[in-house]
Amino acid sequence: MRYFKKYNTNSFSTANMSGYLNPNLLKHSKRVCSLYKRAVRNLEAWNINRPTFRYHAVLLRARFDENKNITDLRRAKELWIAGEEELAKCEHYQPLKFPKSPGGVAYAREVVCPDWVLDYWHPLEKAQYPEYFARREQRKKEYLKFYEQHYGKPMQESHH
């Protein structure tokens, strides 16, 4: 039933005059495509063996293709709701996640290299990017000047 929170099923009402402002309002075809994709990903989670997964995915696609030419929106909505309920019943207990997707094992693990690491580059490495390191040295001097203007020079007795 948690899929119904994702989509507002009352958004088809003509009494709702602000329907064009509703972010949950999706076309029926987009809802069906989303249902199909989530169902295929669920099959992929249940079937580790690739040929078995493909067999079940083809059967699932055939089920969707049987009803693709339905023009009665009421019947199409009923089928969509039934599909959402079926997916909710057979959802995998531990769905597959791509490593860098939200919920994946490598999500948000990009290490940002601190700026001081560039100070330890070998001069031959720095020579490959002369404009960058010249500008960097200039900005370091500007920063020291800015720091001394705002906070003053450090006292000599506090140094080791």
For residue 57, give the 3-state DSSP assignment: helix
Is residue 85 located within the same domain as residue 9?
yes
Answer whether residue 109 is part of any domain: no
Is residue 63 located within the same domain as residue 133?
no
pLDDT at 25 (0 to 100): 64
DSSP category for residue 14: S
Is residue 140 located within the same domain as residue 83?
no
Is residue 75 located within the same domain as residue 119?
no
Q: Which residues of the chain have pLDDT under 70?
A: 1-25, 158-160
Is residue 32 located within the same domain as residue 85?
yes
Answer whether residue 73 is part of any domain: yes
Half-sphere exposure of 89 (CA within 13 A, CB side): 6
Over pLDDT 90: what percentage of the chain? 67
Structure pTM? 0.57
Is residue 77 located within the same domain as residue 120?
no
pLDDT at 20 (0 to 100): 59
pLDDT at 3 (0 to 100): 45
pLDDT tens digits for range 14-46: 455 555 556 566 788 899 999 999 999 999 999
pLDDT at 19 (0 to 100): 53
CA 68 to CA 29: how far, in whole Å? 9
Is residue 71 located within the same domain as residue 136?
no
Domain, as residue range, for 62:
3-89
CA 138 to CA 9: how far, in whole Å? 60
pLDDT at 23 (0 to 100): 57
Is residue 129 located within the same domain as residue 85?
no
Answer whether residue 105 is part of any domain: no
Answer whether residue 108 is part of any domain: no
Answer whether residue 9 is part of any domain: yes
CA 68 to CA 102: how far, in whole Å? 32
Answer whether residue 31 is part of any domain: yes
Cα 10 to the center of its chain, rounded Å: 27
CA 71 to CA 65: how far, in whole Å? 14
Is residue 12 located within the same domain as residue 78?
yes
Is residue 79 located within the same domain as residue 9?
yes
Do 98 and 33 contact (CB within 8 A), yes or no?
no
Total domains present in the chain? 2
For residue 105, give the 3-state DSSP assignment: coil
Sign, CA torsion 71/74/78/84? positive
